[in-house]
């Protein structure tokens, strides 16, 4: 009788612990993985430009989390992003590999030569961040503040009327606007 | 009392190692945010340690002792710790708290829970259930304070001008050593 | 180093204002050549509307505002435009800035087109604001923020309170105190104009308790206007109580939100000099072509306040004050706490030039060798933004941008109080100024990335939804076709 | 004319770390003087040994770390550490005690963490605690205060020096004859032996409101501390919170059972209470850095000091209390960041 009870108690305890452990393990792995992808994605510049050879920022983040990509594949993020990724992932820091592209010294955004635009909407379809507005057969315009400079709109344009121009908003302007501190103003 | 403190301190030391991330222990490792990881570990301990203490005590006194199965104590204890630790981990992960990655997290949590659980249950510390409850809460709370203090201390030392040979692990050990020195003041507070 | 009563932090500093306030405001001679940088106000640089060779008269517009925030620029002397080219300018720390250069013909011809409006109440507030903008009026406290832009922002608040800032907290600067003392009617008249332009219900003229004569003069001037909605409030002399946000806290006991501007809490703040300049433009038809400048310091023979035409070289002002003393060591534009050290005196007075300090060793207190921070917390005690400079310093040293953000680097107003009291002699302000652009770039990039990500995710969701709808329609069609077949 | 440029502000206070440390040293002089009056010249010799050791180890550490000797050796921080440690040691403690304690304080507690401004733990208290746990017997051997009722044969300066350097008393003296426990120690031992507070207080080592001698040392320290407050070298938060919480704890227990617990005045004027409140806990490097943080930090020290003194195994708890709260400082700092101007909430 005692032996039976002992057997039952032990078996149920073992079962309980195994069950809880399995659940925790599954939850833990999935949650940790999802969270890590999220955290990596948060560090990426979200240009969705595909220079990293992946189809966007999240796919690159996923590849980084799985260890199938390196931290030096994001030219728009530059060395700052590479450094942040190195810190997050505990890998040795590296600067961006120029084979994935070299960014111009100043941030560039797309600009449409409006008289030349034929209103084909191809660039609107290509823009991953909804930064181009315009209707069929009407000229299109880039919303300067929304453009991330991914250059994805340039190849589809049939009349080559899009070019990259230096962006006007810069950190110094942001700084100036947030600095109303000259005394007795 | 001082042995309990010693266990607490070693638990903190081991936990710090886990939080900082040791190569091979972290498939999805992130080494940044020592404090957030410490917080996750603290939450898990706050659940697991009282759970281990209480469930073991209940099983021990109400089931095993009543049924004269005391020889099953050790295997039952092991099973209960595994269950309690897993439950704690599940709860922490579900709540979305940041915590160190497996297996470091589980191993540290299980080891600490086992050590503290044994320390609480053995000896004359837990003479009654109420006292056990108090002790378990106290141990978990003390662990929380010490671990969080060690984590923030690590963040401060990281930016200090520590001489090269002392960087990282050595200064961590010195810090924990001095922490232990401070804890020596507790000697004699409660007679063993 | 005593705390203020209504606003925390700050320093009690030696004022050093006695020397320059002994004589009444003098008139500086018109310069033989005036150099007028086009970027002498906050925002976009003005665009010239004259060409080289043109003849201009005093008060004639010579540059118009660029788009967005900008301001008009008028000729301060009559004569010929001899160049529009980059010249060394205080607006760029003595590096060249595009400037209009006028040669004085000495005839003091006045431009006639400006109208003097005696009864400003006859104008609609909006009309009046636009008129003020055409006078080239900018904030004369040092920021040179175009007054029109500020007024338009303030007019959006319903019945705002106008705060006229006469709290000249920085050591050495006394131009505002002298203005209030000698021309209180200009200040009060300007305040009334600004009140009408803003439809403000009340107006507070705030000044520090070390200028009692100015306060008396203002009270008398207010009494003459019989305007019950303007009052004078005296605040303790604690640096930097003249900072807009600090003054609002000290006068109204309220704080301006970190991500907002004073109009967001129904307050609009203008400098006394701005009010006086507004009065002279609206009442007398004289645009902003001159301002009062304090010339002081142990490095100059005679300290005084002068009314100076814009574009006058600083070297000429010093010469008018008897030249340098042999002890001169450093030339500052502004006070000793926030003033900029100029590398040369061959630069011109601009709208923002409130004070020139020719400093000798007596005026300066040199920095000693820097030691590590000992966390004494003196800096936190005097910080008027309630920051912990000692912690910011740690994060700035390690360029920990997250730490800098969390501890509020962007809320630092660079007043220099922390720097002043630091026993370890750490140049904190310099460190913070170096770290700010890095943090700003980081925050901007992060905000842009977050916004881009949101738009990308919305777009992805929209495309998926459209695709699903299309598939559904196709299915529907197929089903209908099948039904027809059946 | 051309001028050199410089970043603003163009004026700074002519204050330096070494000046601050010099003032702290001056403020310690009353304590040292009263200490010498009651316990003989031992402290002077201990101080000289401690300062010499501190400067030597500091120089060694700076040399190894390739730092400027001229800049850091003269900052006075090592001397303050040495003085504080010497003040905690028995006047006749053997020389190797003060030398090893000071060396440990400077090398491990200070320079391993990066030197001045970087140490997490108070170096003097680390040195003292290390000695206390390693050599408790030597550290609890105090002299009786030099008052008429307790007057024993006094050692001369030379005899004191010989005793410290050789560890041997001059022939005419025996350790048993010239040593006495500190009042805190005596009180604890006697209470543990079952005496009531009145019986314990009958001993002549207890004075008007504290221990004989000790009460005057603490008062002298209070004067030095008030001078530091007046000169704005320290802020009121730490001393007030530490002494306040110590007094509150003592008052509560005294109200519960005056026969078993000493009153607040005794606690405030015994042991290192005043030294801790004005000179040790106020070490800014190892203290919390915001005003609210300092209140929390110092209250913690007060409570822990009372706890360790009353129920712990050591006669005084200031050193351990300071170390334990030093440990919590980064955590306290994290949770006491003040609200920034214009922000509704604390970060």
Give dist(CA B75, CA B62) in Å, integer: 16
Helix (H, G, I), strand (E, B) or coil at C10: coil
- The H or E element that residue C233 is part of is strand C230-235
Q: Which of A40-49, B162-171, C378-387 has the highest mean pLDDT?
A: C378-387
Contacting residues of A for B21, CB less than 8 Å apart: 90
C-beta separation of D115 from D72 below 8 A: yes
**Interfacial residues of A (vs C; Cβ cutoff 8 Å):** 41, 44-48, 56-57, 80, 128-131, 146, 148, 169, 171-172, 174-176, 178-185
- The H or E element that residue D158 is part of is helix D157-166
Provide the CATH number for the domain around residue A77. 1.10.15.40
Please check whether residue B77 touches A, CB under 8 A. Answer: no
Instruction: Inform me whether the pLDDT recorded for C74 exceeds 90.
Output: yes
Give the model's pLDDT for residue B101.
66
Centre a 10 Å sphere on the Cβ of residue B127 and count the other Cβ atoms it contains.
9
Q: Give the position of tokens 């590999």.
A: A97
Q: Which of A81, A103, A125 is the last residue of a domain?
A: A103
Centre a 10 Å sphere on the Cβ of residue D292 and count the other Cβ atoms it contains.
15
In this complex, do B93 and A31 lie within 8 Å of one another by their Cβ atoms?
yes
Tell me, rounded to whole angstroms, the distance of Cα D194 from its chain centroid.
Answer: 31
Q: Which domains does chain D have, with CATH numbers?
A: 17-330 (1.10.3430)
Provide the CATH number for the domain around residue A137. 3.30.70.20
Asked if omega into D9 is within 30° of 0 (cis), the reply is: yes
Q: What is the rounded average pLDDT of the residues C411-425? A: 93
Please check whether residue A116 touches B, CB under 8 A. Answer: no
What's the mean per-residue pLDDT of chain C?
Answer: 91
Give dist(CA B140, CA B88) in Å, integer: 13
**Per-residue tokens: C13:** 């500093």
Give the model's pLDDT for residue B122.
65
pLDDT digits over B90-136, tens only? 777 777 666 776 667 777 777 787 777 777 766 556 667 777 788 88
> Is chain D touching chain A, with at least 3 CB–CB pairs below 8 Å?
no
In this complex, do D129 and B181 lie within 8 Å of one another by their Cβ atoms?
yes
Contacting residues of C for D4, CB less than 8 Å apart: 329-330, 341, 343
DSSP string, C143-184: T--BHHHHHHHHHTSSSPEEEEEE---SSS--HHHHHHHH-H
Q: Give the position of tokens 């600490």.
A: B112
Report the DSSP pairing between strands C61-64 and C230-235: unpaired
Instruction: Quote the domain boundaries for residue A117.
Output: 108-171
Please check whether residue B6 touches D, CB under 8 A. Answer: no
**Per-residue tokens: B101:** 């990655």
Do A94 and A126 lie in one domain? The reply is no
| C-alpha to C-alpha distances, D78 to A114, C229, D23, D102, nearest whole angstrom | 72, 62, 14, 9
Contacting residues of C for A153, CB less than 8 Å apart: none
pLDDT in tens, chain D (347 residues): 889 988 889 999 888 999 999 999 999 999 999 999 888 888 999 999 999 999 999 999 999 999 888 888 888 999 999 999 999 999 888 999 999 999 999 999 999 999 999 999 999 999 999 999 899 888 888 888 877 766 667 788 888 888 888 888 887 777 777 777 788 888 877 777 777 777 777 777 776 677 778 888 999 999 999 999 999 999 999 999 999 999 999 999 999 988 888 889 889 988 889 999 999 999 999 999 999 999 999 999 999 999 998 888 887 889 999 999 999 999 999 999 999 998 887 77
Edge-to-edge strands, sheet with C202-208: C230-235, C202-208, C161-166, C267-271
Q: What is the rounded average pLDDT of the residues C324-340? A: 93
Asked if omega into C240 is within 30° of 0 (cis), the reply is: yes
Residues of chain A with pLDDT under 50: 171-172, 174, 176-185
* Residue with the larger pLDDT of the pair B55 and C378: C378
Q: Which of A103, A124, A143 is the last residue of a domain?
A: A103
Which other chains touch chain A, taking contact as 3+ CB pairs less than 8 Å apart? B, C
DSSP string, C312-347: -BHHHHHHHTT-B-TTEEEEEES-TTTPEEESBS-S
Minimal-distance CA residue of chain B relative to A12:
B79
Q: Give the position of tokens 């320059």.
A: C20
The band of B21, judged by pLDDT with boundaries at 50, 70 and 90, is: low
Pick the range with the lowest mean pLDDT from B39-53, B76-90, C359-373, C405-419: B76-90
Residue A2 lies in a domain: no
Tell me, rounded to whole angstroms, the distance of Cα D182 from its chain centroid.
Answer: 16
Do A69 and A52 lie in one domain? The reply is yes
Centre a 10 Å sphere on the Cβ of residue C58 and count the other Cβ atoms it contains.
21
Instruction: Return the residue in B22, B30, B85 with the most chain A beta carbons within 10 A, the one to mutate for interface testing.
Output: B30
Give the model's pLDDT for residue B191.
55
Give the model's pLDDT for residue D152.
66
D331 — phi, psi (to 5°)?
-65, -45
Residue ranges of B 47-66 with Cβ closer than 8 A to chain A? 63-64
Residue B81 lies in a domain: yes
Percent of chain C predicted with pLDDT > 90: 71
Residue B24 lies in a domain: no
Give dist(CA A145, CA B187) in Å, integer: 64
Enumerate the β-bridge partners of residue C268: C162
C-beta separation of B98 from B54 below 8 A: no
Give dist(CA D83, CA C374) in Å, integer: 19
CA distance A30 to chain B (A): 10
Residues 6+ apart with CB under 8 A from C197: C125, C128, C129, C132, C151, C155
Do A76 and A128 lie in one domain? The reply is no
Cβ-count burial of C148 within 10 angstroms (0-12 exposed, 13-18 middle, 19+ buried)?
buried
Closest CA to C83 of C38, C31, C144, C137: C38
Closest CA to C474 of C466, C485, C462: C466
Angle between helix C272-284 and helix C125-134 axes, rounded to 10 deg: 100
CA angle A142, A147, A151 (to 5 degrees): 90
Centre a 10 Å sphere on the Cβ of residue C261 and count the other Cβ atoms it contains.
19
CA distance C363 to chain D (A): 8
Residue A97 lies in a domain: yes
ipTM entry:
0.85
Q: Which of A103, A128, A159 is the last residue of a domain?
A: A103
Contacting residues of B for D65, CB less than 8 Å apart: 163
Give dist(CA C13, CA C428) in Å, integer: 19
C-beta separation of C95 from C89 below 8 A: yes
Do A141 and A81 lie in one domain? The reply is no
Q: Count of domains in chain A?
A: 2
Do A89 and A127 lie in one domain? The reply is no
Minimal-distance CA residue of chain D relative to B145:
D328
Residue A6 lies in a domain: no
Give dist(CA A93, CA B78) in Å, integer: 42
The band of C156, judged by pLDDT with boundaries at 50, 70 and 90, is: confident
Q: Count of domains in chain B?
A: 1
CB pairs under 8 A between A and B: 86
Give dist(CA D326, CA D331) in Å, integer: 10
Contacting residues of A for C448, CB less than 8 Å apart: 45-46, 148
In this complex, do D324 and B156 lie within 8 Å of one another by their Cβ atoms?
no
Greatest CA separation for chain B: 62
Residue A88 lies in a domain: yes
Q: Give the position of tokens 């249950």.
A: B121
Please check whether residue B145 touches D, CB under 8 A. Answer: yes
DSSP string, C41-100: SSSSPPEE-S-TT-EE-BT-EEEE--SSS---EE-SS-EEEEEEEEEEEGGGTTEEEEEE
Residue ranges of C 134-153 with Cβ closer than 8 A to chain A? 139, 141-143, 145
CA distance B69 to chain A (A): 7
Give the model's pLDDT for residue B22.
54
In this complex, do B79 and A13 lie within 8 Å of one another by their Cβ atoms?
yes
Give the model's pLDDT for residue D312.
82
Minimal-distance CA residue of chain A relative to B59:
A9
Residue A181 lies in a domain: no
Residue B23 lies in a domain: no
Residue B95 lies in a domain: yes
CA distance A140 to chain C (A): 18
Instruction: Quote the domain boundaries for residue B165.
Output: 2-15+32-186
CA distance C229 to chain D (A): 28
Do A124 and A93 lie in one domain? The reply is no
Helix (H, G, I), strand (E, B) or coil at A150: coil
Instruction: Inform me whether the pLDDT recorded for C102 exceeds 60.
Output: yes
Asked if omega into B103 is within 30° of 0 (cis), the reply is: yes
Give the model's pLDDT for residue B27.
39
pLDDT digits over C190-204, tens only? 999 999 999 998 999
> Is chain C touching chain D, with at least 3 CB–CB pairs below 8 Å?
yes
Residue A51 lies in a domain: yes
CA distance C335 to chain A (A): 10
| C-alpha to C-alpha distances, B76 to B51, B110, C222, C449, nearest whole angstrom | 14, 14, 89, 53
**Per-residue tokens: C158:** 């319903």
End-to-end Cα separation, chain C, in angstroms: 95
Q: Which domains does chain C have, with CATH numbers?
A: 19-291 (3.40.50.11540), 292-360 (3.10.20.600), 368-486 (1.10.1060)
C-beta separation of D305 from D276 below 8 A: yes
Q: Name the DSSP class of D150.
A: G
């Amino acid at each position: 009788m005692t032996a039976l009870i002992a057997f039952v108690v032990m078996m149920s305890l073992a079962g309980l612990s195994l069950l809880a452990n399995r659940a925790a393990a599954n939850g833990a792995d999935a949650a940790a993985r999802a969270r890590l992808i999220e955290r990596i994605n948060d560090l990426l510049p979200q240009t969705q430009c595909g220079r990293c050879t992946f189809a966007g920022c999240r796919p690159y983040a996923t590849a980084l989390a799985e260890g199938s990509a390196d931290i030096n594949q994001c030219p728009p993020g530059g060395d700052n992003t590479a450094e942040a990724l190195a810190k997050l992932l505990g890998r040795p820091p590296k600067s961006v590999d120029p084979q994935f592209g070299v960014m111009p010294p100043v941030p560039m955004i797309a600009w449409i030569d409006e008289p030349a635009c034929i209103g084909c909407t191809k660039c609107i379809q290509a823009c991953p961040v909804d930064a181009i507005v315009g209707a069929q057969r009407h000229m299109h315009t880039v919303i300067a503040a929304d453009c991330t400079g991914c250059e994805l709109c340039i190849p589809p344009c049939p009349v080559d009327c899009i070019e990259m121009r230096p962006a006007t908003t810069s950190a110094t302007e942001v700084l100036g606007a947030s600095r109303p501190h000259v005394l007795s103003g | 009392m001082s042995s309990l403190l010693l266990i607490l301190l070693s638990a903190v030391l081991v936990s710090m190692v886990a939080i900082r991330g040791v190569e091979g222990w972290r498939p999805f490792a992130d080494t940044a945010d020592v404090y957030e990881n410490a917080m996750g570990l603290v939450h898990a301990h706050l659940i697991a340690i009282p759970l281990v203490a209480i469930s073991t005590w209940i099983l021990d006194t109400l089931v095993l002792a009543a049924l004269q199965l005391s020889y099953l104590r050790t295997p039952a204890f092991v099973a209960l710790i595994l269950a309690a630790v897993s439950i704690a981990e599940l709860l922490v992960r579900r709540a979305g708290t940041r915590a160190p990655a497996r297996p470091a997290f589980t191993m540290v949590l299980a080891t600490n829970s086992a050590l503290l659980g044994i320390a609480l249950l053995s000896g004359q510390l837990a003479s009654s259930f109420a006292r056990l409850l108090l002790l378990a809460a106290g141990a978990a709370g003390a662990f929380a304070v010490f671990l969080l203090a060690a984590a923030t201390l690590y963040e401060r030392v990281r930016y200090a001008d520590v001489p090269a040979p002392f960087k990282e692990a050595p200064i961590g050990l010195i810090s924990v050593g001095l922490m232990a020195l401070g804890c020596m003041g507790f000697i004699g507070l409660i007679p063993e | 180093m005593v705390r203020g009563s209504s606003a925390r932090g700050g320093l009690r500093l030696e004022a050093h204002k006695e020397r320059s306030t002994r004589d009444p405001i003098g008139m500086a001679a018109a310069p033989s050549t005036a150099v007028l940088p086009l970027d002498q106000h906050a925002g976009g640089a003005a665009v010239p509307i004259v060409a080289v060779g043109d003849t201009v008269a005093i008060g004639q517009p010579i540059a118009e505002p660029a788009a967005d925030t900008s301001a008009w620029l008028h000729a301060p002397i009559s004569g010929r435009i001899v160049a529009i080219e980059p010249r060394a300018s205080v607006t760029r720390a003595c590096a060249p800035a595009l400037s209009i250069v006028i040669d004085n013909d000495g005839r003091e011809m006045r431009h006639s087109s400006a109208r003097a409006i005696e009864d400003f109440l006859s104008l609609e507030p909006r009309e009046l604001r636009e008129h003020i903008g055409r006078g080239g009026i900018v904030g004369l406290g040092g920021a040179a923020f175009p007054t029109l832009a500020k007024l338009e922002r303030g007019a959006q608040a319903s019945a705002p309170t106008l705060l006229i800032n006469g709290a000249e907290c920085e050591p050495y600067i006394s131009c505002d105190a002298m203005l209030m003392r000698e021309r209180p009617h200009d200040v009060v008249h300007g305040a009334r104009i600004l009140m009408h332009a803003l439809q403000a219900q009340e107006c507070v003229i705030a000044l520090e308790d070390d200028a009692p004569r100015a306060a008396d003069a203002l009270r008398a001037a207010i009494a003459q206007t019989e305007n019950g909605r303007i009052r004078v409030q005296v605040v303790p002399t604690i640096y930097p109580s003249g900072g807009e946000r600090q003054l609002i806290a000290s006068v109204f006991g309220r704080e301006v939100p970190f991500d907002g501007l004073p109009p967001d809490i129904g307050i609009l703040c203008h400098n006394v000099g701005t009010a006086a300049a507004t009065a002279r433009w609206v009442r007398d038809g004289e645009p902003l072509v001159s301002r009062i400048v304090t010339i002081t310091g142990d490095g100059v023979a005679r300290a005084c306040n002068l009314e100076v035409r814009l574009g006058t070289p600083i070297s000429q002002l010093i010469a008018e004050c008897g030249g340098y003393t042999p002890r001169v060591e450093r030339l500052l534009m502004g006070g000793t706490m926030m003033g900029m050290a100029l590398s040369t005196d061959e630069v011109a007075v601009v709208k923002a030039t409130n004070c020139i300090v020719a400093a000798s060793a007596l005026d300066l207190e040199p920095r000693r060798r820097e030691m590590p921070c000992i966390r004494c917390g003196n800096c936190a005690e005097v910080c008027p933004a309630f920051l912990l400079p000692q912690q910011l310093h740690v994060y700035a040293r390690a360029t920990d941008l997250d730490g800098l953000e969390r501890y509020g680097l962007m809320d630092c107003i660079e007043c220099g109080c922390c720097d002043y009291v630091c026993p370890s002699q750490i140049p904190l302000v310099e460190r913070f100024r170096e770290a700010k652009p890095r943090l700003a770039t980081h925050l901007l990039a992060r905000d842009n990335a977050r916004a881009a990500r949101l738009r990308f995710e919305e777009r992805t969701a929209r495309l998926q939804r459209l695709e699903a709808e299309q598939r559904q329609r196709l299915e529907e069609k197929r089903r209908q076709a099948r039904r027809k077949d059946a | 004319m051309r001028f050199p440029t410089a970043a603003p502000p163009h004026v700074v206070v002519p204050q330096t770390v070494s000046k601050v440390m010099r003032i702290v040293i001056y403020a310690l002089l009353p304590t040292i003087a009263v200490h010498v009056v009651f316990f003989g010249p031992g402290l002077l010799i201990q101080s000289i040994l401690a300062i010499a050791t501190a400067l030597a180890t500091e120089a060694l550490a700076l040399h190894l770390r390739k730092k400027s000797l001229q800049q850091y050796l003269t900052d006075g921080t090592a001397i303050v550490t040495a003085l504080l440690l010497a003040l905690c040691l028995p006047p006749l403690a053997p020389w190797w005690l003060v030398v090893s304690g000071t060396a440990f304080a400077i090398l491990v507690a200070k320079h391993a963490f990066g030197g001045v401004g970087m140490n997490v733990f108070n170096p003097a208290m680390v040195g003292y605690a290390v000695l206390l746990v390693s050599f408790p017997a030597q550290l609890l051997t105090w002299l009786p205060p030099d008052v008429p009722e307790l007057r024993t044969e006094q050692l001369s300066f030379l005899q004191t020096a010989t005793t410290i350097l050789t560890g041997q008393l001059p022939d005419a003296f025996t350790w048993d004859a010239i040593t006495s426990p500190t009042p805190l120690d005596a009180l604890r031992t006697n209470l543990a032996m079952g005496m009531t507070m009145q019986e314990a207080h009958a001993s002549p080592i207890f004075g008007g409101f504290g221990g004989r001698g000790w009460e005057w040392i603490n008062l002298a320290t209070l004067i030095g501390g008030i001078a530091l407050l007046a000169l704005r070298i320290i802020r009121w938060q730490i001393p007030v919170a530490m002494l306040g919480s110590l007094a509150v704890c003592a008052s509560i227990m005294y109200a519960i059972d005056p026969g078993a617990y000493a009153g607040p005045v005794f606690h405030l004027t015994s042991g290192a209470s005043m030294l801790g409140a004005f000179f040790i806990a106020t070490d800014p490097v190892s203290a919390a850095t915001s005003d609210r943080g300092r209140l929390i930090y110092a209250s913690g020290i007060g409570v822990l000091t009372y706890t360790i003194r009353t129920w712990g195994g050591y006669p005084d708890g200031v050193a351990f209390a300071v170390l334990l709260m030093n440990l919590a400082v980064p955590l306290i700092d994290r949770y006491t960041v003040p609200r920034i101007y214009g922000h509704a909430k604390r970060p």
